[in-house]
Each structure stands twice: as structure tokens, then as C-alpha cells.
């Protein structure tokens, strides 16, 4: 379990979680939830290393989303994320078929 204060969440884990959230909503919405601008969020997703204050925001956002005893909204968000992931996998499989 990761708490918002945990400084040991790897950046790539944060990036993947943020990417999934953006797929489920939009880059603008996901960035807003984290406290980042749309441009800063897009740059982060593209692979840049976040500055200290941004990293704190990302870890707090990630920790808040991964607390035990979550609420219905968080579960609904996760379902949306999983649906987006399934659709992406379907597209990849369709592209592989001869």
C-alpha cells in the first residue's frame, strides 16, 4: 500500500497510472486532478522527469487513489480505466490480424 507521503513510488509507476487516468478521462481532466497544467501533464506523459513539487503532487494523487476502503467514485474511475485498456488491447489485436 502506498500512502500520499511515500517518497518511494517510482516515476514510471506514476506515469503509467497517470496515462491510464488520461485514457479514461482526458489529459486535461487527469492533469487537473493531479494539479498540473495540460501542457505540463502532456510533457510528463512524454517522458520528462518531473520537478520536486510536481513529483510531490503526483505521489499524493497516486497515494490518495490507492488507499484502502475506497469510495464508489474511485471504483467507477478504475472501471473506466480498465475499459479503456481493454479497448486499446482490442485495437492492438485487430491490427495484428492478417
Query: How large is the average pLDDT for residues 58-78?
Result: 75
- What is the chain's mean pLDDT, rounded? 84
Quick check: pTM over 0.75?
no
pLDDT-derived band of residue 57, with 50, 70 and 90 as boundaries? Answer: very high
Q: Kindly indicate the confidence band of residue 98, based on its pLDDT and cuts at 50, 70 and 90.
A: low
- State residue 8's pLDDT score: 78
Rounded to whole angstroms, the Cα distance separating 77 from 8 reads 24
Predicted confidence (pLDDT) at residue 40 exceeds the cutoff of 50: yes
User: What pLDDT, on the 0 to 100 scale, is given for residue 56?
Assistant: 93
Residue 1 has pLDDT above 60, yes or no: no
Judge whether residue 29 has pLDDT over 70: yes
Amino acid at each position: 500500500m502506498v500512502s500520499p507521503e511515500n517518497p518511494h513510488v517510482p516515476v514510471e509507476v506514476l506515469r503509467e497510472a497517470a496515462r491510464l487516468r488520461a485514457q479514461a478521462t482526458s489529459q486535461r481532466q487527469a492533469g487537473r486532478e493531479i494539479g498540473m497544467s495540460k501542457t505540463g501533464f502532456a510533457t510528463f506523459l512524454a517522458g520528462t522527469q518531473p520537478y520536486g513539487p510536481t513529483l510531490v503532487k503526483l505521489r499524493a494523487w497516486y497515494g490518495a487513489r490507492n488507499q484502502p476502503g475506497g469510495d464508489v467514485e474511485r471504483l467507477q474511475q478504475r472501471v473506466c480505466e480498465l475499459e479503456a485498456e481493454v479497448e486499446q488491447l482490442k485495437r492492438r489485436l485487430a491490427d495484428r490480424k492478417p
